[in-house]
Amino acid sequence: MKKRVLIIVETSRGFGRHLIEGITRFAVEHRRWSFFLCDHDAACQDTHWLASWDGDGLIARCNHENIRRFFQTFRGKKINLTADDETLPIHIRLNNEKCAQMAAEHFFSRGYRNFGYFSIGHTFWSQFRYNCFADASRRYEAGCFLCPEAEKQTNRTLPTLWWTKLDDSVLQWIRTLPKPIGILCANDHHAFYLVNLCRFHGIGVPEEAAILGVDNDESLCSATLPPLSSIDPNARLIGYRAAEILDALMNDLPLPQQTEYVEPLCVALRQSTDNIAIRHPLLAKALWFIRNEVAQNLRVSDVAKEVGVSRGTLNVLFMEYLHTTPLQEILRVRMDWAKDLLRSTDVSITEIAKMIGYQTPEYFSRAFTREAGTTPSEYRSSQK
């Protein structure tokens, strides 16, 4: 007999929708469940009708008291996908330390030396994400400025434009920040608000403030002007692994005692952070040249010639401002592009090697394995 599984996950945000995609992919592939998707908002309003549920399993985002109460009283096997409540067990979650590291590296590689963090309301997950980002900022010797609104106790967890007092408070914070600055937002909804607020009040994005979200909610990211860069948290994989774990629990299989952490996929680059915040004109020109010409079997000597300096001078500039070498930057840009192609396309590894400037797939595979710790084929398989 098929196991009966109830899923209570919000569909109003990209993260929740992607979780559901991962969960349902597992259910469709294995065909061992009869699963039911509960309207999350309805469950928040009234859980009395849930009391009669006598199924085998439950996957829930327990971000509301009513759902949390139902989760605690449910007697079947269950998986919690919310990190807001430390009293509830959580088997799988996003690696926020890696998210923070990814954000800091993204800003630093574009020349930003001042970082900020924006959220509304004091929640456990947002505070933890900020702590991780502050730690990552210190490793880059960058200041990290926290928006005061992030520390206020409030039931408003998602910002909406035209909250006059909130707008005034956030504007005051942005205007006092050192510029240019890279700002990580708690999620895409917060970033959506901040990009629009800056636009309405004449603060240049990304020229003065590069703004980065988390969740890669395509509908939100494409609705801002400029479009919003965002960290893809790999929510589909989180959902798929949550389903695998629940399936194992329902079949009384042993599980690891420790929480499993899923690595974020990448920074989905869009215009809100697509900027070079380097005040040295030659270095800024070199970085733009690398990004635009990396496919052309680019060498350090080509970059030096383009900007009109010697290789030695170019190395000194890169080390002084970016703490890296021109060769390492060329390799980083190539590998980021390769990872994006491996994740998002079915282009063959041979073709990818040609596209990013390698003469043979073997040479590309060796370089990729050295940098990523896994072969291109293995990396592609792990991202599906």
| Residue ranges covered by each domain of the chain | 3-93+235-265, 96-233, 281-383
Residue 69 confidence class, pLDDT cut points 50, 70, 90: confident
pLDDT for res 43:
73
- CATH 3.20.20.70, domain 3-93+235-265, yes or no: no
The mean per-residue pLDDT over the stretch 287-300 comes to: 84
Q: What is the pLDDT of residue 207?
A: 84
Quote the CA–CA distance of 173 and 117 in Å, as a whole number.
11
Distance CA 208, CA 202 (A): 10
The reply to whether 3-93+235-265 and 281-383 are identical in fold is no
CA distances from 16 to 74, 169, 270 (A): 21, 30, 22
Alpha-carbon distance of 262 to 199, in angstroms, equals 34
Pick from 4, 186, 5, 156: nearest CA to 79: 5
Structure confidence at residue 35 (pLDDT): 85
Q: In the numeric block, which tokens belong to residue 349?
A: 């590894």
pLDDT in tens, 175-192: 999 999 999 999 999 999
Neighbours of 127 (CB within 10 A): 17
- Per residue in 255-281, pLDDT tens? 777 889 999 999 999 989 988 877 788
pLDDT for residue 301: 93
Q: What is the pLDDT of residue 85?
A: 67
Rounded to two decimals, what is the model's pTM? 0.80
Rounded to whole angstroms, how far apart are CA atoms 21 and 375?
27
DSSP conformation class of 120: S
Q: Is the predicted pLDDT of residue 220 greater than 60, yes or no?
A: yes
CA distance 127 to 84: 10
Say what the pLDDT of residue 11 is: 85
Q: What is the CATH number of domain 96-233?
A: 3.40.50.2300
Q: Over 121-135, what HEC string results?
A: CCCHHHHHHHHHHHH
- CA–CA separation, 242 and 19 (whole Å): 9
The number of beta carbons lying within 10 Å of the beta carbon of residue 340 is 16
Q: How confident is the model at residue 82 (pLDDT cuts 50, 70, 90)?
A: confident
pLDDT of 47 reads 67
**DSSP codes of every residue in 283-350:** HHHHHHHHHHHTTTT--HHHHHHHHTS-HHHHHHHHHHHHSS-HHHHHHHHHHHHHHHHHHH----HH
Which range (164-168, 352-356, 379-383) has the least confidence?
Answer: 164-168
**Residues 114-132: tens digit of each pLDDT:** 999 999 877 788 889 999 9
| CATH, range 281-383 | 1.10.10.60
Residue 109, CA atoms < 13 Å, CB-side half-sphere: 21
